Structure formats: structure tokens, C-alpha cells
Amino acid sequence: MLSDRVLFIDGEAIILDKPAGLPVTPPVNGGMSIENYREMLSFGFHRWPNAVHRLDRDTSGCLLLSRNPKAMKRFQRAFEERRVAKRYVAVLDGIPSGDGGTIDLPLGKVSTREEGWRMVGDPAGKAAVTHWMLLRVLDNRALVAFTPETGRTHQIRVHAAEGLGVPVVGDPVYGSGTLGKNGIMLLHSEWIRVSRDGKPPVEARAPLPATFINAGFADDDVPPP
């Protein structure tokens, strides 16, 4: 149950450890999403919580929900003013060159009738900057931490595939899309912190999911933010 996956809760916010495979908003073709669980996540409040930002369907980990309209406006403003710190952890289908650095690769959206839409590196696109650090190498795969400065659609996935030349394991768009028999993408929103005026920040870390553990990586491989 999603109510068992709450990492942080107070009168303004909930941070949820979203499972991979569950979209934040209802899919076009129907199916379950976070929207279907909002009443369960109200925890006695009359208002149901709303997602402040988005995670891709196949990305697991920290998702911030607001518990009232005023908090929503403040959190949205924090995102706009870049007062939100986030860290993602991914298993890459190969080993990047170096131990870390910064990927400065603007992103643009392209679309074709055959393949649908995707994001690509585009000098004329929107600015996108991600810092990265190599955490561990195992069996020609790498566990990498990504700290984005910007929040573009598919930013981590494209920056891994194009910026580092090594896609996220299981990425169905920018990589091979397969991981053994399950094909689950190994991208995880591991940590988030949102500043609040006059109050302690909203902050939580999400433990690595079973898919990472099964791939040979562990929480001990990820240092504190």
C-alpha cells in the first residue's frame, strides 16, 4: 500500500517513495496512477494531496505532495526559484569515462510519427545542467549519482545516454529497454530537500528499490547527500 511508503509527513507536505511502474498522472489509455491513491494519502485531512512535480512512470523514489493549496503555491515557487535540491541514482549500461563532472547539454523535443516524441541534445534547446558522480562499478555496469540543477523532461536519462554516452539500464527510449526478464528502468529519485521560509526544510531519502539490490548494488554504495 502506498500509505506504507511515506518517507516524510507534516501539515504541508508528504514525500512518497513512488514505486516504478506507477505514473503520477492518469495514463491516456487508462490505468492506475498516483491520482487513484490520493484519498488514502489524505491521512484525515479533508483535502486530498496533490503532486508538486513529476517523476517518469518507470522512475522510483521521492515524490513531493502538497497537502493544501497554500503549500502547493509555496512549493511550486521553490521549484521555480531553484530552491529544491534533488539527487537521483541510476545503474548505467556501461561505465562512463571519469569519476564525475558536469553535463551541460541543452535539451529539445523532437517527434516523429513512427517513434513518437523524445528529448535530444539541442544547442538551441532549453538549458539543462546535471552534476554526476561515479559510485561503484560492477559487471560492466556503473552506479552513478546525478544531481540536476535544472528540471527538464527526461533530463537525467538524456544526459546519461548522450552526455556520458552510457544509457540507464532498462531505459525503453534512450537505451536498450531491457533488464533480464522484467525490463524495469533502474533510475531512482533517492533524495529531495525543499527549503521553507521560517520552517525546517521538507527532506527525505528513499532507499534503493529491490531492482537495484537484485542488480548487485546496495544502500551502502550511496553516500549521504
Active site members: 56
Are 162 and 92 a contacting pair, CB within 8 Å? Answer: no
Dihedral (Cα; 73, 77, 83, 84), 10-degree rounding? 60
- In degrees, rounded to 5, the angle at the alpha carbon of residue 53 between the alpha carbons of residues 144 and 224 is 35
Provide the H-helix boundaries in 84-216: 155-158, 210-214
Enter the DSSP assignment of 67: S
Element (H, E) at 60: strand 60-66
Q: Of the candidates 142, 141, 159, which has an alpha carbon nearest to the alpha carbon of residue 150?
A: 159
Q: Of the candidates 4, 5, 16, which has an alpha carbon nearest to the alpha carbon of residue 50?
A: 16
Cα–Cα distance for residue pair 103/209, rounded to 1 Å: 26
User: 133 burial class (0-12, 13-18, 19+ CB within 10 angstroms)?
Assistant: middle
Element (H, E) at 78: helix 69-80
Q: What is the CA radius of gyration of the chain?
A: 17
